[in-house]
Amino acid sequence: MIDELQKAKDLMDNGQYMPAVEILQNIRGLPVKSEKYRLLFMSYCWCNLGEYQWSVNIANDLLQKDRHNELASQIKYLSYCGLKDFDRALEEIIRFLSLNEADLYKITLEELLSDIKNGFINEQTIISTIKKLALKNNCLK
């Protein structure tokens, strides 16, 4: 089963997302840690295939099992962006960063601060929340 997970990862690395999904959907009985990787890989594949709602649903499943999984949160964020649901995308960043410190999201926080500076984000509650999260994660200059 772990070999199948590696085969799927190799296919993903080569941009072959549908064959990877076919393998991932048929893997059963993995240890908990490997199951988390299976869900992460599936969400990533669906996002790259443009099946954003499926990607969101799988990322949600993974985040319920592992609320600290920043990659799953980012895939969910990107999937919401793919759905052009920018409010939910922003909600996902805020939800995740309210519970966790940023690693991968630091760049996104810096981009959001730039959007605030350039007037693209105007709602004061959101601006305040983003600035608070940026300060918490050492992104404010």
Quickly list H helices, 1-123. Answer: 2-13, 17-25, 32-48, 52-65, 70-82, 86-99, 105-117
What is the per-residue pLDDT across 2-60, written as a single tens digit (0 to 9) for each?
799 999 999 999 999 999 999 999 999 999 999 999 999 999 999 999 999 999 999 99
Cα 77 → chain centroid: 5
58: nearest Cα among 118, 66, 14: 66
What is the per-residue pLDDT across 105-121, written as a single tens digit (0 to 9) for each?
999 999 999 999 999 99
Q: Give the pTM.
A: 0.89
Q: How many CB atoms lie within 10 A of CB 126?
A: 16
